[in-house]
Structure 1
Amino acid sequence: MVWNRASAEAAAIAGRWSEERGPGGAIVLFDAAGIKATSAGGYASLELSVPFTPDSENRLASISKHFMAATLLLEGLSMQAPLGSLVDGLPEAVGTVPLGRALDMTGGLPDMMEVLWQQGIPYTASLAREEVMALLKRLPGLCAPPGQEMAYSNTGWRLAEAVLEAQRGTPYRAALERRLLAPLGLRIGFPADETEPLRDLATGYWWDGLSWRRGRYGMHFSPSGGLVASAATLAKWGAALLSGAGPLAGMLDRLTAPRPFADGSDSVYRLGLVETRLGQVRIIGHGGSLPGYRNHLLMAPDQGVGVVVLTNREEDALWPALTVLAALLGEPLPVPAALTPGLYAEAEGPFWAELGPDSISVMGGFERLLQGRDGMLRSIPAYLDIALQAQGDTRLEGRIGGVARRLEKMPAGTPLDPRLVGVWEEPDYGSRIEIRADGTARMPGPGGLGAESRLTPLPGGRALADLKHGPWRHRPCLWLQADGSLRLASHRSRVLHFRPQNVRDPR
């Protein structure tokens, strides 16, 4: 291990945060014995000029997931049990999903944040756990059959909290403390929502083009992303995973055991962790993103080392983590793809993707693309596994989330299909969309006020809406059905089904 070179890379990254005199972060290198080196820069609080240190508390966001998975395994809960056998009152389709598939992102469960946003309720809205669960229990279906596709969703982890309480009679916070935190001597919090005061918590920020703004996330923090800890504490947790300390004996192998799709092929996503490669080295990790917070945990378990990157700034944390880990392992960094931007879609259905100079947005799910030696464009997945081959300048073919895709480049200037024009209503939640002939739409918005969007038409009775809220962008596809109805589909939510106004729902 080249510790000096890795420490120098970490110090250079943290130094840039300090030079900017903006939000910052901490980078901690560790092995199975504990912390080996730390770097930090920038501010945990711009308002108070508090420096960000390795001991600054930060929202872990989706890095939280594998803590819940470990807790469930220690509690002896069956990953094969259908959710409906573990929690009362779930919709029939949701109840058929096995717990393991709810956690490994192959369950087809709609993500509640996107379901709510598609109804005009943005992620900054203050919603208690009970309110979110009440809406979850009205879900009209699944995004895809269980086992067919890896599509990122936080809903399975929200349901896992309900499973733990229903089957073991204990809140997750108590089970986490008893099973993991107390035996390992770790200070990790699980606040209910953003209003809960927390000691030493770094404020999250995003750049609006002119200045830094505070990030907000109003919904209840579920085990999908609710934990709070410092970079130093997360590194100690990583060291305990690598060494199998205390209750974590054999746990890393259990968390990263292969999780097959229904066709028998393996998904890179396991139980709250992703397995991929950096050069010749197997790496395990997970990212985390909440408005104003971006984090990554990466480990090379066969070499017994890892790196934590926690930041309170809305920018990529995966590449800094890869840079430091590659320096530590003596592996070359992967080569970023050099792409020609363009919009692509399948010949039919709601599936689309847009290329940037070195990245791809797949129905709204963002990944940086790397150039493989075999000519393939690949992701080191933060959220989505991608392997594509460019066929000239007009076609992309390969697998996205485990599913074979063939995407054609969309022609510029496609007119809006006139059949989309009109007012559409969704019967399950009461949402309403108005599409106008000039290519604009009034999408569902807070309080029934609506949110204006200019549509990007696609051939075949389709169009992309464009909604922006704070630092995040949402681009659901409006997709006309053969029976004259309208579906609304994004990477994480594909279940809302609209009918023309004044047309009775046959159900």
Structure 2
Amino acid sequence: MPAHLDWHAASTTAEAFARQWAENEPGGAVIGFDESGIRFWHARGVESLSTLTPFSADSVVRYASVTKHFFCAMVLQHEDAINLDDRLGQHLPELASPLADVTVGQALDMSGGLPDTRECLSLLGLSVYTETEAAPLLAFLARLRRLNFDAGHEVSYSNTGYRLVEAALERRGFAFDDFIQKDVAGPLGVTFNAPDVWNDPVEGLVPGYWHNGDRWQLSAAGLHISASGSLTGSANALTVWLQALMRGQGHFEGVLEKLQATRLLADGRPSGYSLGLRLSTLGKRSFVGHGGSHPGYKTYFLIDPESRSGFVVVSNREDTNGHKIALESLAALTGLPLPTPAAGIPDGLYVTEQGPWWLEIKGSVCTYLDADDTLYDDGDGWVSSRSASSPMRLRLEGSALVGEAGHAARRFLPVTDKQAVETFLAGTWQSTEWAEFEVRDDAVVMGVGPVRHTMPLTALGNGRYLFTLHDGPWTKRVCLHVLDDNRVELVLNRARMMEYRRRG
């Protein structure tokens, strides 16, 4: 166990972050804890802009993807019904290859290449507000015939594996919320709920907010949530659960060890992402945690299993960076050095010689296929995202950026000359899901009536183009990649396989 933990320094750091939430705006709470109890908590802002009730450590929020390790604990409890080495197709026979051939473990550890359902819907032109139900979404996934990449060869974040494994367990009679109530909330004496859809009432749930540049807006989402991110609860309740995991008492014995066990890629390399947990490092020490993001809600936790201490961050505002709060609080607690943001990589757009893989550098922030990560100095000219869920390690070789993205070897070249949009792209393009868009006057035109949007194309060369799609709190940059004269694909970080064919 570390010789000294400076809880005063950690509390001071966390409080400084909490003070950034104005008293009359949406806010959040930060908790520092160990196995014996809560060492500090700071809360600021309000639960609701209607009631102006102060935010507290008991305010109920959406945990979003922090749900994932809870669900993985449920999967491990039912190894007699579903095994990590099982093919998804064994439990969901309607799935077609290659999705059916992904293993349960790969579906949960982000190495399965499964396209993210929500980003697939965005690439079909469906808004974050569009309501969807579980059964039609499963039928949609059963119609897919491509993965983002060959299973086991990369890591890229996707919620779909959790949706599919949850459906498999439900067919065996095991519901996620039943597990939460019977095996977690009940024994621990805390309140958690796992609603199926956004509009399901949850007692005490505070609204989430995002800022549109002028004013705060209430958040909403239409996607059937699934066990990838359905859980609700407070900062205090999440802390109680994490303490129980770290103690390993009763039927929680050994659960944390199984959840954080190293997962391997097909070539034997450790991936850094395990079962709903991601590895984080400070100095030469490793920690585990996970973040969650729903429109208007941000959650993060980071724990040190060695000292059985950690931090929980919850918020009902879109702009909270829970990872930064937890990591800097942990650095203050342990005295370990924070990583140094990368410098020296020229700003600009970069793209591989072939394929849809692009990135943009702005200072120390790297946007890869529209997913943002900070890059840090990794020594010997290397920079790294230090992220288990979106791993990236690169260095400059001449003007090129060379290394790995998602554990896959990549070489990115700078986009220098402004290029024209190829004239053959003009026309209407249609997917097998009957979604359509038009390329006209060097822009993508998508949608109908008052939600028909014209989005200018930026050429990257060799049949790659970027356009920007605005959808409520989200802004997405999509890559249009030409496959041949009559076939293109739309690509986002979590969905890289949505094809359209020329109509007519």
What is the TM-score of this pair, normalised by structure 1?
Answer: 0.94
> How many angstroms apart in 2 are the aligned matches of 1:246 and 1:151?
34
| Conserved? CA contact 1:287–1:382, under 8 Å | no
| 1:210 counterpart = 2:214 | yes
Does 2:335 correspond to 1:330?
Answer: yes
* Alignment correspondent of 1:97: 102
Q: Cα deviations across residues 415-454 of structure 1 (Å, max 9, x unaligned)?
A: 112232222121x201212112x321113x3689643211
What aligned pairs does 1:423-502 form with structure 2 within 5 A after superposition? 423-426=428-431, 428-436=432-440, 438-443=441-446, 445=447, 450-482=452-484, 484-502=486-504
**1:83-482 pair list within 5 angstroms:** 83-167=88-172, 169-315=173-319, 316-338=321-343, 340-381=346-387, 383-392=389-398, 394-426=399-431, 428-436=432-440, 438-443=441-446, 445=447, 450-482=452-484
* 8 A Cα contact 2:424 2:485, kept in partner: no
Cα offsets for 1:388-416 (capped at 9, x unmatched): 11335x32111111111111111141211
Q: Distance in 2 between matches of 1:352 and 1:133?
A: 30
**SS at 2:22's partner residue?**
helix
Q: Do 1:417 and 1:462's aligned partners in 2 also have CA atoms closer than 8 Å? A: no
Are the structure 2 counterparts of residues 35 and 86 from structure 1 closer, same or farther at C-alpha, using a change threshold of 3 Å? same
Shift of 1:494: 1.9
What are the superposed Cα offsets for residues 213-268 of structure 1, whole Å, 9 maximum, x if unpaired?
A: 11211111111011001111111111111111222211111111111111111101
Structure 1: which amino acid aligns with 2:339? P
In structure 2, how many angstroms separate the alpha carbons of the residues matched to 1:216 and 1:238?
28
Q: Which amino acid aligns with 2:307?
A: Q
- Structure 2: distance between partners of 1:233 and 1:310: 11
Which whole-Å CA distance do the structure 1 matches of 2:448 and 2:186 have between them? 42
User: 1:505 — aligned with what?
Assistant: none
Inter-partner Cα distance in structure 1 for 2:500 and 2:90: 31
Is 2:280–2:388's contact at 8 Å kept on the other side of the alignment?
A: no
Residue 33 (1) aligns with residue 32 (2): no
CA shift digits 1:111-136 (9 cap, x unpaired): 11011111111121111222322222
**Is 1:15 paired with 2:19?**
yes
Measure how far apart 1:53 and its partner are: 0.4
Q: 1:53 aligned to 2:56?
A: yes
Residue 68 (structure 1) aligns with:
71
Detail structure 1 runs of 4+ shifted over 4 Å in the superposition: 446-449
User: Residue 292 of structure 1: CA displacement?
Assistant: 0.9
Checking the alignment, whether the CA contact within 8 Å between 2:279 and 2:388 is kept in structure 1 is no
Equivalent position SS for 2:331: helix
> What secondary structure does 1:236 align onto?
helix
> Does the CA-based 8 Å contact 1:121-1:446 persist in structure 2?
no
1:366-399 Cα deviation digits (max 9, x unpaired): 212222244322223274111111335x321111
- Alpha carbons 2:128, 2:472 under 8 Å: kept: no
Separation in structure 2 between the aligned mates of residue 466 and residue 400 of structure 1, nearest angstrom: 22
- Among all aligned residue pairs of Structure 1 and Structure 2, give the percentage whose two residues are the same amino acid: 37
Is the 8 Å Cα contact of residues 79 and 99 (structure 1) preserved in structure 2? yes
In structure 2, how many angstroms separate the alpha carbons of the residues matched to 1:70 and 1:281?
A: 25
How many residue pairs match? The answer is: 496
SS at match of 1:419: helix
For 2:497 and 2:148, locate their aligned partners in 1 and report how far apart those are by CA, in whole Å: 6
Q: Which residue identity does 2:64 align to in structure 1? A: A
Per-residue CA deviation, residues 67-96 of structure 1 (Å, 9 max, x unaligned), is: 000110011130000011012312232111
Output the CA distance in 2 between the equivalents of 1:37 and 1:301.
19
Asked whether the 8 Å contact 1:258–1:270 carries over to 2, the reply is: yes
CA distance in 1, matches of 2:10, 2:448: 47
**Aligned 8 A contact 2:271 2:388 in 1:** no
Report the AA paired with residue 464 of structure 2.
R
**RMSD of equivalent CA atoms:** 1.7
- Residue 260 of structure 1: SS of its match in structure 2? coil
Q: In structure 2, what is the Cα distance between the partners aligned to 1:404 and 1:494?
A: 17
